[in-house]
């Protein structure tokens, strides 16, 4: 998509696809790439909404110029300062020196710190508006979705919500850019992965934002990542509501660490028991093999979570420790937990998992199964019982 795409009357998508970056935020894998969406409103006053990652500036400028020619930009709205969106702010200001940056009070510190920009900034408060001529923009403060300065911009005439990261996901745009043009289940999974990896910790703030937007008529949701929802914006609003309330689907995620195969044998006994008990959605992850990004996506989706730990140096193995620490930080709730594991000469892993499960406030099922050395028939029977109890609890 070399040039801008008109998404509604004189509002253009001027985003870019990044197929080069391996890790988003230096953490999360991008096997399907990621799109940085930005928008241009061509009115009496010209407004650009967000920019793109710094390395994609040439394509970004080309799209702006395809719409504007030699004309200038009046306003650059900065909804969110994470550099995947603000990375081209400084150079855009140099190219269009009269362009005012429209932001909120909390944005100032970031503009100064990241880019040394201190002037030509128009500070907007919650629900304040600017007139563009035919169209107008109203700003909604949505702090901690997922940075403190995050806001959303609403265009009143077309009822378009420029929502920053909210409702966006990983994955480049592959020709289609609207919900009615793309393979929606494919993008939904990438939106959930983005949510569970990056936004989940701030679920209570997402709920606040959804409440604040509940009386705003929204025809189009234009996020900074992924597809634009114009046919059915409620599709993604409903999912965001469910995910941020930590409402789950029927299914079980088993995540285990295993050094010699013994904890894996226990995990597979549990998984088989779940299947025999009628659970259709079972996701089995070796925590040393599956990236945290994909494990979190499954955990955020399903009600059951069974953690299996092999003991390493009297503690959890490093990758399992990282997972537990992440879940603790994300304040995972509304789940049913199971715990199992094994050790060779000193316990530790099962105790750590049990401690986390109890501290988390989630329901912890019996039996908690711990095997010394290789699991014997009794241990495997207990694993099967855990699977059965989990199936009954869903």
| Nearer of residues 85 and 335 to ligand FEO, judged by Cβ | 85
**Structure tokens belonging to residue 275:** 């299947």
Instruction: Identify whether the C-beta of residue 107 lies closer than 8 Å to the C-beta of residue 78.
Output: yes
CA distance 283 to 281: 7
* Sign (positive or negative) of CA dihedral 27, 28, 29, 32: negative
82 binds ligand FEO per the rule CB under 6 A: yes
| Nearer of residues 42 and 82 to ligand FEO, judged by Cβ | 82
Least distance (Å) between residue 51 CB and ligand FEO: 11
Least distance (Å) between residue 165 CB and ligand FEO: 4
| Nearer of residues 194 and 319 to ligand FEO, judged by Cβ | 194
Least distance (Å) between residue 171 CB and ligand FEO: 13
257 binds ligand FEO per the rule CB under 6 A: no
224 binds ligand FEO per the rule CB under 6 A: yes
Selected range binding ligand FEO among 77-85, 176-184, 227-235, 323-331, rule: CB under 6 A: 77-85
| Nearer of residues 35 and 383 to ligand FEO, judged by Cβ | 35
CA distance 138 to 176: 28
Q: What is the DSSP string of 285-304?
A: EETTTS-HHHHHHHHHHEEE
Selected range binding ligand FEO among 82-90, 170-178, 350-358, 362-370, rule: CB under 6 A: 82-90
How open is the CA angle 171-174-178, to the nearest 5 degrees? 90
Q: Which residues pair with 13 in a beta bridge?
A: 5, 39
Q: Count the site residues for ligand FEO by CB under 6 A.
A: 8
Selected range binding ligand FEO among 44-52, 80-88, 348-356, 385-393, rule: CB under 6 A: 80-88
66 contacts: CB under 8 Å, gap ≥ 6: 3, 4
CA distance 222 to 162: 5
CA distance 143 to 106: 9
- Number of Cβ atoms within 10 Å of the Cβ of 260: 12
85 binds ligand FEO per the rule CB under 6 A: yes
CA distance 151 to 78: 8
| Nearer of residues 15 and 308 to ligand FEO, judged by Cβ | 15
- Whole-Å CA distances, 184 to 29, 173, 351: 20, 12, 42
Residue nearest to ligand FEO (CB): 82
Least distance (Å) between residue 9 CB and ligand FEO: 27
CA distance 293 to 323: 10
**Sites for ligand FEO among residues 139-158 (CB under 6 A):** 146
Q: Using CB under 6 A, which of 84, 100, 179, 190 touches ligand FEO?
A: 84
**Sites for ligand FEO among residues 13-52 (CB under 6 A):** none
At 237, give phi and psi (nearest 5°). -60, -45
**Structure tokens belonging to residue 342:** 């094994």
225 binds ligand FEO per the rule CB under 6 A: yes
190 binds ligand FEO per the rule CB under 6 A: no
Selected range binding ligand FEO among 78-86, 122-130, 212-220, 353-361, rule: CB under 6 A: 78-86
* Sign (positive or negative) of CA dihedral 371, 376, 382, 386: positive
Q: Using CB under 6 A, which of 63, 80, 193, 230 touches ligand FEO?
A: 80
Give me the residues that bind ligand FEO (CB under 6 A), please: 80, 82, 84-85, 146, 165, 224-225
């Amino acid at each position: 998509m070399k040039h801008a795409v008109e998404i509604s009357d004189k509002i253009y998508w001027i985003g870019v696809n990044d197929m080069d970056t391996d890790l988003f935020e230096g953490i999360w894998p991008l096997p399907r790439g990621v799109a940085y969406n930005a928008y241009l409103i061509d009115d009496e006053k010209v407004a650009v909404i967000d920019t793109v990652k710094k390395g994609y500036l040439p394509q970004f400028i080309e799209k702006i110029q395809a719409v504007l020619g030699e004309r200038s930009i009046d306003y650059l709205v900065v909804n969110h300062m994470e550099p995947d969106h603000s990375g081209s702010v400084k150079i855009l200001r140099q190219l269009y020196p009269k362009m005012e940056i429209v932001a909120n009070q909390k944005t100032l510190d970031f503009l100064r710190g990241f880019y040394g920009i201190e002037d030509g900034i128009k500070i907007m408060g919650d629900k304040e508006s600017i007139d563009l001529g035919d169209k107008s923009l109203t700003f909604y403060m949505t702090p901690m979705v997922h940075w403190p300065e995050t806001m959303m911009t609403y265009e009143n005439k077309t009822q378009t919500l420029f929502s920053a990261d909210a409702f966006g996901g990983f994955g480049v745009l592959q020709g289609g850019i609207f919900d009615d043009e793309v393979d929606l289940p494919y993008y939904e999974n990438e939106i959930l992965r983005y949510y569970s990896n990056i936004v989940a910790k701030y679920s209570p703030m997402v709920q606040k934002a959804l409440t604040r937007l509940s009386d705003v008529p929204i025809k189009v949701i234009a996020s900074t990542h992924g597809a634009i929802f114009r046919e059915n914006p409620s599709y993604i609003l409903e999912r965001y509501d469910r995910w941020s309330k930590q409402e789950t689907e029927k299914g079980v995620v088993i995540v285990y660490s295993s050094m010699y195969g013994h904890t894996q044998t226990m995990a597979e006994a549990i998984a088989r028991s779940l299947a025999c008990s009628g659970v259709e959605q079972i996701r089995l992850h070796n925590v040393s093999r599956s990236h945290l990004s994909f494990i979190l996506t499954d955990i955020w989706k399903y009600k059951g979570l069974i953690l299996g730990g092999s003991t390493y140096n009297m503690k959890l193995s490093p990758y399992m420790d990282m997972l537990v620490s992440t879940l603790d930080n994300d304040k995972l709730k509304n789940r049913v937990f199971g715990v199992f594991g094994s050790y060779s000469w000193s316990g530790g892993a099962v105790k750590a998992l049990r401690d986390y499960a109890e501290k988390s406030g989630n329901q912890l099922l019996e039996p908690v199964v711990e095997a010394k050395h290789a699991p014997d028939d009794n241990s495997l029977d207990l694993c099967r019982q855990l699977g059965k109890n989990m199936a009954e609890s869903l």
